[in-house]
Amino acid sequence: MNDEVVVFARAISRVLGWMYFLCWSGSFYPQPVLNWQRKATLGLAIDFPTLNVLGFTAYTFSTAAFLYSPTIKSQYAFRHPDAPETTVRFNDFLFAAHGAVLCVIIYSQFFPAIWGFKVGSRQKASRPIIGIFWGSILGILIVTSLVKTRGKDGGYDPSDWAWIDVIYTLAYVKLLTVVVKYIPQAWVNYKRKSTAGWSIFPMLLDFAGGIFSLAQLFIDSALQNDWSGITGNPVKFGLGNVTLIFDVIFFLQHYILYRQPARDVEEGELDNEQQRLLGRRTR
């Protein structure tokens, strides 16, 4: 690439970065605003914000480390000699930190003592989600222990277990939460045959942000003339792809399958007795 093309490509990359930041950051607001307007969280699966709190907290620490830790930067350069500069950008960190705060706010809306909102009968995440939550934390602790006990030079030698492996573990925790967190919400929509109480606008913004994020990642890797920029930033690549897949599923549910819901069951969270009574009333 000549210098003019490189300068132009870098400018486009920066623009795409801020565009996806604005889209993804904006996607956090429609749901809590809708909850506030309805004074209820009915329609939103609590599993979704539960995993979001974990995922975005992990993502905040991982992006901060790639941006501001000399140790992590040097270890990354050692493991990716052909592309020693990480593709993590400041907008990635800002997005993660902003998202973590909003996720905590959304999760807190499931507690009537705080907001006074009406919630479904299930006010705690399901057992599989709780298992993933604590299993992820355990995985982080195990990798940290391996770095401290088996890593050379206390984890500062990147040729063995190193601190960058802890950061990668945080990144993979974020990716895991993204893969899993959409499934309970899609299932809730399916059981209710409705998307009432759940906002489609975050998915629309997610979709646009996913396109912009992937475009930026490919441009950055092309500029470095090494596609390990993608494998070196698996979370960003995975986030874009997984988001797009689930967004399409939610589009189908909202705009085609459940445009006219058969009934408005509270989030699919009614217990067996409540469902039996409801069944009698609707016969």
Question: pLDDT per residue over 71-83, tens digit each?
Answer: 999 999 988 887 7
Rounded average pLDDT over 242-263 = 84
Task: Report the distance separating Cα 252 and Cα 23, nearest Å.
Answer: 21
Task: Report the distance separating Cα 191 and Cα 272, nearest Å.
Answer: 14
- Please enumerate in sequence order all residues whose Cβ is within 8 A of that of 14, keeping only pairs 6 or more positions apart, or say none: none
Q: Which residue has the higher pLDDT, 60 or 216?
A: 60
- CA 262 vs. chain centroid, Å, equals 31
Task: Report the distance separating Cα 252 and Cα 203, nearest Å.
Answer: 11
pLDDT band at 283 (very low <50, low <70, confident <90, very high): very low
Rounded average pLDDT over 45-70 = 94
Rounded average pLDDT over 4-33 = 89
Q: What is the pLDDT of residue 270?
A: 45
Backbone angles phi, psi at 135, to 5 degrees: -65, -40
Total domain count, the chain: 1
Q: What is the pLDDT of residue 261?
A: 58
Question: Is 125 in contact with 52 (CB distance < 8 Å)?
Answer: no
Q: Taking 60 as the threshold, does the pLDDT of residue 259 lie above it?
A: yes
| Model confidence, pTM | 0.78
3-state secondary structure (DSSP) of residue 157: coil
Q: What is the pLDDT of residue 272?
A: 44
Q: What is the pLDDT of residue 267?
A: 45
The model's pLDDT over 138-187, given as tens digits with 9 standing for 90+, comes to 999 999 999 999 888 888 888 889 999 999 999 889 889 988 989 999 99
Question: Is 139 in contact with 131 (CB distance < 8 Å)?
Answer: no
Cα atoms found within 13 Å of the Cα of residue 183, Cβ hemisphere only: 10
* Residues of the domain holding 32: 3-282
Task: Report the distance separating Cα 202 and Cα 199, nearest Å.
Answer: 7
Q: Taking 90 as the threshold, does the pLDDT of residue 58 lie above it?
A: yes
> 47: which 2 tokens?
């599993």
Q: What is the pLDDT of residue 281?
A: 43
Bridge partner list, 118? 40
Sequence-separated contacts (24+) of 150-156 with Cβ below 8 Å: 156/71
Q: Taking 60 as the threshold, does the pLDDT of residue 268 lie above it?
A: no
Q: Given the structure tokens 């489609």, which residue do they identify?
A: 200
Task: Report the distance separating Cα 115 and Cα 109, nearest Å.
Answer: 6
Q: Which residue has the higher pLDDT, 143 or 234?
A: 143
Average pLDDT, the chain: 84
Q: Taking 60 as the threshold, does the pLDDT of residue 263 lie above it?
A: no
> 126: which 2 tokens?
């399901």
Q: Which residue has the higher pLDDT, 188 or 81?
A: 188
Q: Of the spans 139-143, 205-209, 273-277, which averages the highest pLDDT? A: 139-143
Supply angle C-alpha 153, 160, 220, rounded to 5.
115
- Please enumerate in sequence order all residues whose Cβ is within 8 A of that of 123, keeping only pairs 6 or more positions apart, or say none: 46, 110, 111
Q: What percent of the chain has pLDDT over 70?
A: 85
Burial class of residue 160 in the structure, from the number of CB atoms within 10 Å of its CB (0-12 exposed, 13-18 middle, 19+ buried): middle
Cα atoms found within 13 Å of the Cα of residue 86, Cβ hemisphere only: 29
Q: Taking 80 as the threshold, does the pLDDT of residue 26 lie above it?
A: yes
